[in-house]
Structure 1
Amino acid sequence: MALTILYRGPLSSCDYDCPYCPFAKRRDSTEQLRADRAALERFTRWAGTATEHRLSILFTPWGEGLVRSWYRRAMIELSHHPHVERVAIQTNLSYRTEWLADADRDTLALWCTYHPGQTPYARFLDKTVRLANAGVRFSVGIVGLPEHSSHARRLRADLPDHVYLWVNAAEGHTYTDAEADDWTALDPLFPFSRHPHRSAGLPCRTGSSVISVDGEGTVRRCHFVPEPLGNLYDGSFSRAAAPRGCPLAVCDCHIGYVHLESLPLYDVFAGGVLERIPAAATGPGPVALPLLG
């Protein structure tokens, strides 16, 4: 059985202080970090032995995970299990990249975000060059705020043509058609991010082939629906896993709406759903992405 897991443990500390993020510069206590490490190690042990599933795993920590050694170890370990088809993480690339040499780069992938004002542009770009030279799968993105426009254009010009540059619509920001057109020129898939998607009652893969797991092993259909389906470690979640319509009115986050069956994004991102790499951007050469929907 193919199973996609979005894992979010208790970690909520970050080394950046982005003004649009509520977790900026949050500090976890020593006890909180120990709890996060223990939770992640428990999850990694479970995933390593869950050979009845073909697993795809995306780590979505509130903070920055890869500055912590236990996240790097988990990524490396999981990448070498034959039943793990993909292990990916959302990251700001603020760490050294040499550890990636120990991972299976056919399995590991990175969803990278550039945050202007938090790190020198040249440093971030150098990290992407290192990833490309090491054969690591990755996408790069930015939040679509007006003050980020010049940074986004610079990134698109400097990144290899085949590296997908995604743009997230800024939460609470309303875009004029002209502004949206400018962002769409950089990311042809930006229209999917511009407005929340109506989801009430619509079929979604979450809750059946896609689940969310927290540090206690509590399983929910996704990060945005609080109702528990059971627990990962006692297997009770599997009895509640079934296709079902979305109970929310709208879905406005990519890691949620990408799984809606009413949208064509599983075709657009075929082979790269978790790391946000479109099928048209998986090889060398210019990116030519269809605008679907």
Structure 2
Amino acid sequence: MDLTILYRGPLASCDYDCPYCPFAKRRDSSEQLRADRACLDRFTGWAAGQTGDRLSILFTPWGEGLVRSWYRRALVDLSRLPHVRRVAIQTNLSCRTDWLADADPDTVALWCTYHPGQTPYDRFVAKCRDLADRGIRHSVGVVGLPEHLDAARRLRADLPAHVYLWVNAAEGHTYDDAEADRWTALDPLFPYSRHPHASAGLPCRTGESVVSVDGEGTVRRCHFVRTELGNLYDGSYRTALRPRPCPLAVCDCHIGYVHLETLPLYDEFAGGVLERVPARPAHGPTFAAPRGGMRLP
């Protein structure tokens, strides 16, 4: 079985203080960190034993995972397993990058977010260049707030040409066409992020070939639908995997709507869905963008 897993354990602490994030500068207690490590170790052990399946794994922690040694070790160990096709993590890249020397660069990948005002610009760009020098697949992006536009333009100019710069529409912010065009000039796929996608009743890969797993092993179709499908560790989730329509009115997060079958994003990101790396050059003439300046339904 080919299975994509979005894992989110109890970790909720972050070393940044972004005003648009509810987990900014949150600190987990020592007990909470030990619990998170135990959950991650259990998940990694389970994944290692699934030799009859082909797994793709994306870690989507509420907090910053890579400042914790157990997340770095998990990515290294999982990347070395022959039945793991891809292992990736969402990160602010505040950690060092030398640990990646032990990972398999054909399997490991990073989804990096730049947060202006939270880290020195030159330091962040230097880490991105180090990833490129190491041959580590990665994307880099920003939240599309008006005050981030100049930093995003500078970032696009300074990143290696092959590195995709994505832009997430800021929650609660309305983009007029002129503003949306400015962001689309940096990220041709920004129109997919501009408006929530109508999703009710539409086919989605979540719940069939894509699932969400929490620290206790509870399996759900995705992070945004709370209905449980079973448990990872007793195998009860397997009988619940099947095609199913989305039960929500809209889907407004990339890690959700990328799996909608009505959108062409599996083609756009073929081979790089988890790390948000397009199959084609992000600024080449063949790079597709949705028409009309809006998200497609």
Which TM-score bucket, shorter chain as reference? over 0.9
Cα distance in 2, alignment partners of residues 286 and 259 from structure 1: 24
1:1-150 map, 5 Å? 1-150=1-150
1:7, 1:128 → 2: CA distance?
Answer: 24
Tell me, yes or no, if the aligned pair for 1:142 and 1:168 is still in contact at 8 Å.
yes
How far apart, CA to CA, are the structure 2 residues paired with 1:164 and 1:288? Answer: 14
CA apart distance, 1:53:
1.2
* 1:221 alignment partner, SS class: strand
Q: CA deviation at 1:51?
A: 1.3
Aligned to 1:240: 240
Displacement after TM superposition at 1:289 (Å): 1.8
Equivalent AA in structure 2 for residue 236 of structure 1: S
TM-superposed CA distance for 1:281, in Å, is 3.1
Q: What is the aligned partner in structure 2 of residue 249 from structure 1?
A: 249
* Mapping for residues 259-278 of structure 1, pairs under 5 Å: 259-278=259-278
How many residues are aligned here? 291
Mapped to 1, the partners of 2:35 and 2:281 lie a distance apart of 38
Structure 1 residue 291 corresponds to structure 2 residue 277: no
Note the C-alpha offset of 1:287.
7.6
Distance apart, 1:147 and its partner CA? 0.0
Q: 2:110 & 2:280 partners in 1: Cα distance?
A: 17
Q: Measure, in 1, the Cα distance between the counterparts of 2:287 and 2:168.
A: 16
TM-score, scaled to structure 1: 0.98
Q: Write the distance in 2 (CA, Å) between the matches of 1:227 and 1:108.
A: 30
**CA–CA distance in 1 between the matches of 2:42 and 2:181?**
45
Please say if residues 202 and 260 of structure 1, whose CA atoms lie closer than 8 Å, have aligned partners that are also in contact. Answer: yes
Give the structure 2 partner of residue 279 of structure 1: 279
Question: CA 1:230–1:287 in structure 2 vs 1: closer, same or farther (change >3 Å)?
Answer: farther
Give the deviation of 1:99 after TM superposition. 0.3
Tell me if the contact between 1:200 and 1:249 (Cα under 8 Å) persists in the aligned partners: yes
Question: Residues 287, 73 of structure 1: CA spacing in aligned structure 2 closer, same or farther, 3 A cutoff?
Answer: farther
SS in 1 for 2:77: helix
Report the Cα distance in structure 2 between the residues aligned to 1:163 and 1:286, rounded to whole angstroms: 12
* Aligned equivalents of 1:93, 1:289: Cα separation in 2: 27
Amino acid of the structure 1 residue aligned with 2:289? L
Check conservation: 1:163, 1:287, Cα contact below 8 A: no
Q: Give secondary structure in 2 for the equivalent of 1:230.
A: strand
Determine if contact 1:280/1:287 at 8 Å carries over to the other structure: no
Q: Please list the CA deviations of residues 38-58 of structure 1 after superposition, one character each: whole Å capped at 9, or x if unmatched.
A: 000000000001112100000
User: Is 1:184 aligned to 2:160, yes or no?
Assistant: no
SS of the residue 1:56 aligns to:
strand
Query: Counterparts of 2:52 and 2:9 in 1: how far apart (Å)?
Result: 23
Amino acid at match of 2:271: G
Can you give the 5+ residue segments of structure 1 that lack an aligned partner in the other structure?
none
| Rounded Cα–Cα distance in structure 2 between residues aligned with 1:173 and 1:135 | 36
SS in 1 for 2:39: helix
CA distance in 2 between partners of 1:89 and 1:142 (Å): 16
Give the aligned residue type for 1:290: A
**1:188 counterpart letter in structure 2:** P
* Corresponding residue for residue 293 of structure 2: none
| Distance in 2, Cα, partners of 1:201 & 1:236 | 25
1:134-173 aligned at under 5 Å gives the runs: 134-173=134-173
1-side partners of 2:287 and 2:164: how far apart?
9
| Match in the other structure for 1:216 | 216
CA distance in 2, matches of 1:201, 1:35: 37
- Deviation (angstroms), 1:288: 4.9
CA distance in 1, matches of 2:136, 2:31: 33
Determine if contact 1:207/1:241 at 8 Å carries over to the other structure. yes
Cα drift, residue 286 of structure 1:
5.0
Letter aligned with residue 260 of structure 2: L
Q: Structure 1: how far apart are the matches of 2:285 and 2:74?
A: 31
SS in 2 for 1:279: coil
Secondary structure in 1 aligned to 2:225?
A: coil
- TM-score calculated relative to the size of structure 2: 0.96
1:287/1:116 CA distance change after superposition, 3 Å: farther
